[in-house]
Structure 1
Amino acid sequence: MTDHQPLRTTLSRPPRLRPGDRVALLTPSSPSNLERIDEGIDVLRFCGLEPVEYPTARARGTAQPFLSGTDAERAADLRAALLDDSIAGVMTVCGGYGSQRMIEVLDWSDLDAVSPKVVVGYSDVTGLLEALASRLGWASVMGPMVAESEFRESYSFSSLWSCLASPDRYGPLVFPDGKTLVGGTAEGLTAGGNLSLLTGSVGTTTAWTPPSGIVLVEDEQEDPPRTDIMLTHLRRAGYFDRAAAVIAGTFTNSGDDAGIQAVLDDRLGDLGIPVITGANMGHGGHVQTWPIGVRARLDADARTVTFLEPPLTDQAGS
């Protein structure tokens, strides 16, 4: 793919989920945890949704053990779900690795004619959420996935369900355990996600860096040197040049929390924009859901994010 997409400075927000809605379960990435997926499906049914499993929801590694089926199979599942008028949204079942491989082979034809649908995921799914923003102009939701432990954690799922079902009442997000690195307030479009996936998208046609973005960065199992490499690459690539503010979320299982904090202070503290660190969004459980592509205001001194519009619309689905 060599074509370049126009810069999306505003995104279309999908409708909220309602009781009775059919939601697709699939993965753009790695094989799901089969011990947890059925529990996650039960959670969705308790919420009044009708889960619809696609083949990659339970597929095992084929060409590679860390990929759920082939790239083409994952792309076909996503395309089928987006084109199916009876499907109201897509709940990815897990992350891992593979979303950018899937995006590479995805047939985007006719998808720009589809009304926006909410797509939920985080971690490796950051690659897909960026692509939906840049290619289709859709807002999305960075939140727990069906076969991951966060989906069953009451705090994390309550945040997700509030965003999906009652978006007009979602927020403000409050980060009492966060740290104000650079004070001030900023308004812009919510953006970002997993640091390694954001770094991997630089230079591709599916990277999305909105003007005046309130950019979230988070990750897991990345030590201080690798975190420094990725943040430095984003800096050198101009990723933060148009940002209005930065939020550093969770950096779990790094093995050196103090070292990670020192890197964040060093690489984010001189950007000349408000920055907070230690926000509970990302990996590790007990996390808040982060809508992507929604107008919001960050108060770095109070460590709060207020949404200036609901993350999803209240219009009825088709």
Structure 2
Amino acid sequence: MHYPAPLTSGSTIAVTAFSSGVAAPLHARLELVLGDLARRGFNVLEGRCLREDQLHVSAPAAQRADELMRFLLDDQVDAIMAPWGGEIAMDLLPLLDWQALKQVRPKWLMGFSDISTVLSAFISKLGWASAHCTNLMQLSLAQSDPLTANTFAHLQTPTGEAFTQHNAPFFEQGFSNYAQDSHAVFNLTEPSRWQLLGEEANSTKPVSFQGRLIGGCLDTHMLMYGSEYFDPQSLLNRHPDDKLIFYFENAEQSPTAYYRALQSLKLRGAFEHAAGILVGRNAVSGMAGKAFDGETAVKMALGDLSVPIVTGVDISHIAPNLVVINGALAEVSFCGEQWTLVQHLR
């Protein structure tokens, strides 16, 4: 694995919307979080593909790819963030100069949702570690829950060392409206529960498994699996003595589409070398009166696998979010009432 250098005070973070941009009604929120990056001690480099949003993107694909490449090739840049995800970051992947990128210093790529589409391409093509984590528009200094507040602290971890996170006690039922309130923070009111598939909610059965982390938003990853841009085998080739821990979260798929996505990955052999699977909170509610919901989809698709499957994990469009390092060697465990995720950057 190629781990980027730890982020420290004075590191440079480039901001570009390589998927959806930020429309004018949300510029006040954008200014807030950009200012907070500076207040954290980072140098902020703002790209041109950022402050517009037309047809789900900040600019035409060629412009977005050119700007992303410019930041990736600039060794004064330490990390690259987008404001948030979107829909069609996939169109950048064939436009990036992957040969040129083999010669440059790895940078942290950070975010979730459609950002994870790009993160998986970098681990598959280049072996770069990346951070599946809270998006920039949510990372205000006022956000005080431990998972979000420690996002940048975890990215200070030196290569060879590890950091630890625990399950969040509560999650947010809805979504903040930054157009109405640019200073909004998460409203974490709903009890959070990670649960081992097939066990009762109050089960105290100990759980422990280890593997290299890989995954992201299921909506795009189920489409990319088997391509050069989401190739878990490439991670196994780099670390033949390790198994994989897959993590997925459903953003927009209906329960039956969610089932088909998981089932298709299983049928294509995605989980043959899995040590376990982490399933994030489902962002789509089931249809009223229908028994086939997201929980049913996971049980039906993955219930016959012989590896631990943990549901309700803090990896989701429903805040808050863990920092998950693609490629890190992770240990997942449950003892008593607390889940623990330890990630080794080695």
TM normalised by structure 2 equals 0.79
CA shift in 2, pair 1:273/1:150, >3 Å = farther
Contact 1:140-1:292 at 8 Å conserved across structures:
yes
> Which of the pair has more CA radius of gyration?
2
Q: Which residue of 2 aligns with 1:5?
A: none
Contact 2:33-2:139 at 8 Å conserved across structures:
no
The one-letter amino acid of 2:211's match is: G
CA shift in 2, pair 1:152/1:203, >3 Å = farther
Q: Which residue of 1 aligns with 2:149?
A: 158
Query: Counterparts of 1:162-201 in structure 2 under 5 Å?
Result: 162-166=153-157, 168=161, 170-174=163-167, 177-181=193-197, 184-201=207-224
User: Is 1:222–2:253 an aligned residue pair?
Assistant: yes
Q: How many Å separate the matches in 2 of 1:234 and 1:38? A: 40
The one-letter amino acid of 2:21's match is: P
Q: Which residue of 2 aligns with 1:270?
A: 304
User: Is 1:250–2:281 an aligned residue pair?
Assistant: yes
SS in structure 1 of the partner of residue 134 of structure 2? coil
Q: 1:114 aligns with which of 98, 104, 116?
A: 104
User: Is 1:238–2:254 an aligned residue pair?
Assistant: no
User: Is 1:42–2:77 an aligned residue pair?
Assistant: no
CA shift in 2, pair 1:226/1:149, >3 Å = farther
Contact 1:195-1:230 at 8 Å conserved across structures:
yes
Q: How many Å separate the matches in 2 of 1:171 and 1:256? A: 37
SS in structure 2 of the partner of residue 120 of structure 1? strand
Q: How many Å separate the matches in 2 of 1:243 and 1:122? A: 22
Q: Which residue of 2 aligns with 1:287?
A: 321
Moved more, 23-32 or 258-267: 258-267
Moved more, 52-61 or 189-198: 52-61
Q: Which residue of 2 aligns with 1:69?
A: 59
Moved more, 117-126 or 215-224: 215-224
Contact 2:110-2:133 at 8 Å conserved across structures:
yes
Per-residue deviation at 1:241? Answer: 1.5
Q: How many Å separate the matches in 2 of 1:85 and 1:136? A: 17
Which blocks of at least 5 consecutive residues in structure 1 are unaligned?
A: 1-10, 312-318
SS in structure 2 of the partner of residue 247 of structure 1? strand
Q: Which residue of 2 aligns with 1:304?
A: 339
CA shift in 2, pair 1:152/1:283, >3 Å = farther
Q: 1:100 aligns with which of 62, 87, 90?
A: 90
The one-letter amino acid of 2:294's match is: I
Per-residue deviation at 1:104? Answer: 2.1
Q: How many Å separate the matches in 2 of 1:136 and 1:151? A: 33
User: Is 1:146–2:139 an aligned residue pair?
Assistant: no
The one-letter amino acid of 1:53's match is: E
Q: How many Å separate the matches in 2 of 1:151 and 1:191? A: 28
Q: How many Å separate the matches in 2 of 1:87 and 1:93? A: 17
Q: 1:129 aligns with which of 100, 119, 130?
A: 119
Q: How many Å separate the matches in 1 of 2:93 and 2:100? A: 15
CA shift in 2, pair 1:308/1:69, >3 Å = closer
Q: 2:52 aligns with which of 59, 63, 70?
A: 59
How high is the sequence identity, in percent, across the aligned residues? 25
Q: Which residue of 2 aligns with 1:89?
A: 79
Q: How many Å separate the matches in 2 of 1:44 and 1:20? A: 11
Structure with greater helix percent: 1
The one-letter amino acid of 1:198's match is: H
**Residue-pair matches, total:** 298
**1:271-304 CA distance string (max 9 Å, x none):** 1101110112221222222111100112256663
**1:112-138 CA distance string (max 9 Å, x none):** 011111110110011100111011110
SS in structure 1 of the partner of residue 63 of structure 2? helix
Moved more, 250-259 or 50-59: 250-259
CA shift in 2, pair 1:152/1:267, >3 Å = farther
SS in structure 1 of the partner of residue 250 of structure 2? strand
Contact 1:153-1:286 at 8 Å conserved across structures:
no
CA shift in 2, pair 1:227/1:35, >3 Å = farther
Per-residue deviation at 1:34? Answer: 2.8
The one-letter amino acid of 1:226's match is: A
Alpha-carbon RMSD: 2.3
CA shift in 2, pair 1:175/1:191, >3 Å = farther
**1:201-244 CA distance string (max 9 Å, x none):** 12321113144111111122322111111111111121112211
